[in-house]
């Protein structure tokens, strides 16, 4: 009888409520390197189908071009509207992906269609906690070896690389987030496909307001 092969131990084998490596291309410096080399992010990182990239906005004029179509994506937007001291500026908005079912909130009732922050996968939270625990243990042994930002970063990705084979779903999530932060994010808002530019998506999803102890 063949001997059963022992699987590699994983830090995810034990549940933590407190909370050569193909796939580590999602590591920040690697992702930036890929973009610099290709001039874009890989097609398989796009959550809206290979080849989709939102068009850049273009200036239309200082007058409303045409009425918005009800229950369809907004083809244009305006700033300075209603300000007597400034001239309205009308500009185009990107077209949504062809497959609308790929847009978040698709199929929900309009009242349930609103922006929801993307939840960070539990395994990535566990990695963060494990990396902090490891650094605290080192600090306790040597008070001069204090925890610093770059040490957290290095330890986190060290653990990540050791667990790549157990992070398939999480790697896919990170690829999508990289895409959103570069090209923007679509979601259904009260029956209407709505586009968030990259910086605005990043702000709404990841910027924690210390003074209010909440996200935007």
pLDDT digits (tens, 9 = 90+) for 185-202: 999 999 999 999 999 999
Does 161 score more than 70 pLDDT?
A: yes
C-alpha–C-alpha distance, residues 22 and 164, integer Å: 8
This prediction has a pTM of 0.80
Half-sphere exposure for 1 (CA within 13 Å, toward CB): 3
Does 173 score more than 90 pLDDT?
A: yes
Average pLDDT value for residue range 106-111: 96
- Amino acid 23: pLDDT: 47
Closest CA to 202 of 216, 187, 190: 216
Q: How far is CA 216 from CA 44, 129, 174, 200, 206, in A?
A: 30, 24, 21, 11, 9
Closest CA to 124 of 211, 26, 204, 53: 26
C-alpha–C-alpha distance, residues 150 and 135, integer Å: 11
8-54 tens-digit pLDDT: 666 566 554 444 443 467 888 888 888 888 898 998 899 999 899 99
Higher pLDDT, 82 or 185: 185
Q: Nearest 5°: CA angle at 188, between 183 and 190?
A: 140
Closest CA to 183 of 39, 67, 9: 39
């Amino acid at each position: 009888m063949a001997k059963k092969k022992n699987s590699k131990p994983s830090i995810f084998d034990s549940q933590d409520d407190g909370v050569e490596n193909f796939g580590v291309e999602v590591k920040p410096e690697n992702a930036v390197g890929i973009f610099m080399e290709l001039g874009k992010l890989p097609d398989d990182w796009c959550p809206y189908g290979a080849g989709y990239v939102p068009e850049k906005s273009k200036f239309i004029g200082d007058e409303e071009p045409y009425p918005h179509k009800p229950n369809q994506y907004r083809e244009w937007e305006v700033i300075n509207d209603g300000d007597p001291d400034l001239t309205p500026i009308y500009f185009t908005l990107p077209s949504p992906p062809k497959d609308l079912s790929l847009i978040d909130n698709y199929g929900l009732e309009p009242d349930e269609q609103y922006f929801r922050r993307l939840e960070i996968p539990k395994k990535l939270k566990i990695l963060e906690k494990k990396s902090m625990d490891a650094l605290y243990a080192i600090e306790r042994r040597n008070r001069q070896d204090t925890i610093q930002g770059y040490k957290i970063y290095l330890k986190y990705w060290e653990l990540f690389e050791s667990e790549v084979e157990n992070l398939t779903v999480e790697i896919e999530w990170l690829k999508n987030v990289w895409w959103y932060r570069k090209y923007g994010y679509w979601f259904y808002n009260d029956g209407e496909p709505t586009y968030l530019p990259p910086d605005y998506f990043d702000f709404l999803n990841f910027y924690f307001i210390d003074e209010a102890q909440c996200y935007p």
